[in-house]
Structures are given as structure tokens and as C-alpha cells.
Structure 1
């Protein structure tokens, strides 16, 4: 049962909060034991044969209450909430202090400030891939129109004035048309979807919360991005700090097997204020 109790909005403005830009949503097969490390015990994990659906949401917002910023949401898995299911975020990385504070206090997300370093390289080849319009929107608008472009996005978490490598995400695309030549068919059909999620139970917001992202966009399936990690990660709950343990498990989610990738173009995401869930 849910109450209508709203969470304070800091200086982010009144909800709903609207974000515009583009994004990549990639689903992975995540080990159930990895996902359970993030999810409260009262929730039942949606799993089969020892795996659940997790992955990541990589977005570049051109317009938002916090201005322009990048976001990487690591999704641990799916939990059952009759009559539907909801996602649970293991870690949220943003290159905006304001967005980080909002995620922590207002939405109950495990947000961290991070650096997103983007490098584009032109690669010869004729294979056609995805991400064509997404690449032009993630602060790489001046990419050369070669037969194939590759972009490496290096994500480094900022912690106590030090940087910690999280992952590298490689996006490749056949850019055979100029941005002004993009057609509606090429960008995919216009759709409206709702993505419900649970959050909270963090040091910044101890409540158990539920919120929903109402999305309008043009959607199309693309080739999965390649994700690489910083190196071998330990999973010693006794020796590692809680922060190190959860960070390494988040990297394990990113390195799990990809199943499906979709590109959100002309994205408009509306987020209502979370409500407190009472058990």
C-alpha cells in the first residue's frame, strides 16, 4: 500500500521533472545472487534459472532541471510488485552535482558524481550498426560522417577527490547519412511507455519509495554496446567496505551478458515525485 506522502524537492523545482535528450537502454542477463545484494529482502526478485533482467540506461540530457548532463543508471534487476514488476537501480552515475543531490535526497537513488570522457574514432568498414542518431546527441555532434564511427565513453566515479574507473562503453555506428537527412523511419516509431521503479533505503533517504518515468520518444532496436571493466573485481563482503563491495557488484552487472539494446531518440521523460511505500 502506498501513501501520497511526497519527498522534498530541494531546489530542483516542483514535479513533474522533465528531461529531454536521447538514451540507450540495454538489457542484460544478471545473476540473481548479484542482483539480490542490492534489493531489499521484502521484495521478490523476478528470476528464472538463476538469472534476472538487469542492464543499464545511458542518457545525455540536453534540457533538464539540472541543465545538460550525462547519466548512467546501472539496473540490478526486476522485482515483483503485483500486478506488474519494477526495476531496481544498483548505482546511478551523473556528471552534475545538482543532479546527484536531487537523485539522493528526492528520489532515493544511489547517485554518485562521475566523469564521462568521450572519444570518437573513425573506423573503415561497411558493416551497418546502430546508435546513429544517439551518437550525434551525446555531446559528439561534430563526429565526422565516415563509414563507421566508434565512440568510447569512459566512466570514472568521483569519491573523496579521487577517481575510480567504473567501465568503458563502446558504441559503434554506421553514419551513412547526415543528421539533417535523418528520416522518421530511420529513427523508429513514436511511442509512449511507462517505466516504474523502486528506490530508497539509502543513507540519504531511508524510506522505501516508488516512482515512475513516463517516456515519449522514437524507439528502435540497435546492436548492443560493448562494455569493458577496469580489471578483476573482488567480491569479498568481509574485507571490502560496503561502498567497494557495491561498486564492484555494479561493475559485474555492467559486464553481464547483453540481450537487447534499444535507442531512445527525441526523448522526453517526465518523472513524478516518488511516493513512500508502506508495507
Structure 2
């Protein structure tokens, strides 16, 4: 059972909150023991043979209540919520103080401010039909026509005026000029609903459920390559809670990819969360 509760909207205005842009959603096989470290004991993890479905959601918003910003949502896994299932976010990284405050207080997300550094390099032998339109939305609009490029997105978490390497995400594509995007097939127009659980954080102790209603053009693409900062330790006794969860989030990002889909012409409506009763 769920009950409606007034959630602070601060400077974001009244829900639903609308975000427009483009995104990459990549599903990974995540070890169940890794996912369980993030998920409250009340929930049953959807798993098979010791693995669950996690991954990440990488988005570039051109229009939102917080303006233009980038977001990386690390998804720990899927929990069972009859008659369906919901995703659980292990960590949310955004390069916007306003978006971080909203995620923490209004949606109960484990949000952190991060720096997204994007570097474009020319490559050879890149397959066509990869992340063409998605790349053109994330600062690659000046690439020459039909050039083959890749972009490395270095994500660094900002913590007490220090930067901590999280991961590097490599996207490759045969990129065309922006005016050529209209000629490319970006997949069918669809509407989907992505329910998620959140909360149980120091900023929002409630257990929450919220829903993202998405309208977009969807197409399958080749998986992005993710690399980490180096070997990560998982020692509860030696690491602080923050270090432990950060390293586990990196482990989720480095897990085996299964499927990647590109969201173009993305319009996402996020409803105000509801408090889940015990």
C-alpha cells in the first residue's frame, strides 16, 4: 500500500518535472551480492543464477527545471514489487548543484555532484549506426561530415572540494552533420513507463516510489565501453560507508553489458514520489 505525501519541491516547481534531451540506457549483468548492498532488506531482488539486471542511464538534458545538465544513474538491480518490478539506483551523478539537491530531497536519490569531461578523438574502423544522434547532442555538433569519431566521457565525483575518478565511458560512431540527423532513422516513436524505488538516504529517510513517463525515439545500439579508475576494494571494516558504496557503484558500471538502447527526442515526465508504507 502507498500513501500520498507532500514532497518538498523547492526551486523545481510543481510536479510532474519535465526533462528533454537524449540518453543512453545500458543493461548489465550485475552480481546479486553487489546489488543487495544497496537495496533495503524489505525488497526481494529479481535474480537468476546469482545475477540481476542493472547497468546505467546516461543522459544529456537540454531543457529541465535545472536547465542544461548531464546525468549518470548507476542502476544496482531490479526488485520485485507485485505485480511488476522496479529499478533501484545505486548512485546518481549530476553536474548541477540544483539537480543534486532536488534528487536528494525531493526524490530520495543518492545524488552526488560530478564533473563530466568529454574528449573527442578520431578513430578508424568504427561501425556505422552507433551513437550518431546521441553523440551530436553531447557537444559533438562541430564534427566534420561523415567523420569517424569516438568520445570519452570521464566522470569524476566532487567530494569536499576534491575530485574522485568514477569511470570513463567510451562511445563510438560515424557522426554526421547536425542537419543530416533528420535523414537518419532514429527508431520508432514509443511511450514507456519506468517505475523505480528510492529513499532510505541521509537526506530522505522515507521509502519512496516514483515513475518516469518517457516519450522518445528508441533504437538499439552497440554497447558503450566502460573503464574504471583501477582495482576497487570492498572492505566494510576498512572503508567508510561512502567509499564502500562508491566502489560497489564502480563495480556495477564495470559489469558485463547485455543491451544498449539510445533515447532520442527524449521527453521524460517524473511524477512526485509516493511514500511506501511498511
Category of TM-score, reference length = shorter chain: over 0.9
Instruction: Report how far residue 124 of structure 1 moved.
Output: 2.6
SS at match of 1:182: helix
CA distance in 2, matches of 1:96, 1:217: 24
Q: What is the TM-score when the length of structure 2 is the normalising length?
A: 0.98
Q: Secondary structure at the match of 2:12?
A: coil
Contact 1:20 1:268 (C-alpha < 8 Å) held by counterparts: yes
Structure 2: how far apart are the matches of 1:184 and 1:267? 18
The separation in 1 between residues aligned to 2:98 and 2:79, in whole angstroms, is 29
Residues 116, 153 of structure 2: 8 Å contact kept: yes
Matched, 1:149 2:174: no
Q: Normalising to structure 1: TM-score of the pair?
A: 0.97
1:153 deviates by 0.1
Conserved 8 A contact 2:211-2:270: yes
Find the aligned partners of 1:149 and 1:157 in 2 and give their Cα distance: 26
Cα deviation, 1:86-116, whole Å, max 9, x if unaligned, reads 0000000000000000000000000000000
Structure 1 runs (4+) greater than 4 angstroms displaced:
none
Matches of 2:107 and 2:99, distance apart in 1 = 11
The size of the alignment, in residue pairs, is: 278
SS of equivalent to 2:20: strand
8 Å contact from structure 2 (residues 155, 165) kept in 1: yes
Q: Deviations over 1:209-232 (max 9, x none)?
A: 000000000000000000000000
Q: Answer yes or no: is the 8 Å Cα contact 2:76–2:249 preserved in 1.
A: yes
How much does 1:146 deviate?
4.2
1:192, 1:20 → 2: CA distance?
14
Question: Deviations 1:190-238 (Å, cap 9, x if unpaired)?
Answer: 0000000000000000000000000000000000000000000000011
How much is the aligned-residue C-alpha RMSD, in angstroms?
1.1
* Residue ranges of structure 1 left out of the alignment (5+ in a row): none
CA contact (8 A) 1:58 1:72 kept: yes
Q: Distance in 2 between matches of 1:237 and 1:144?
A: 49
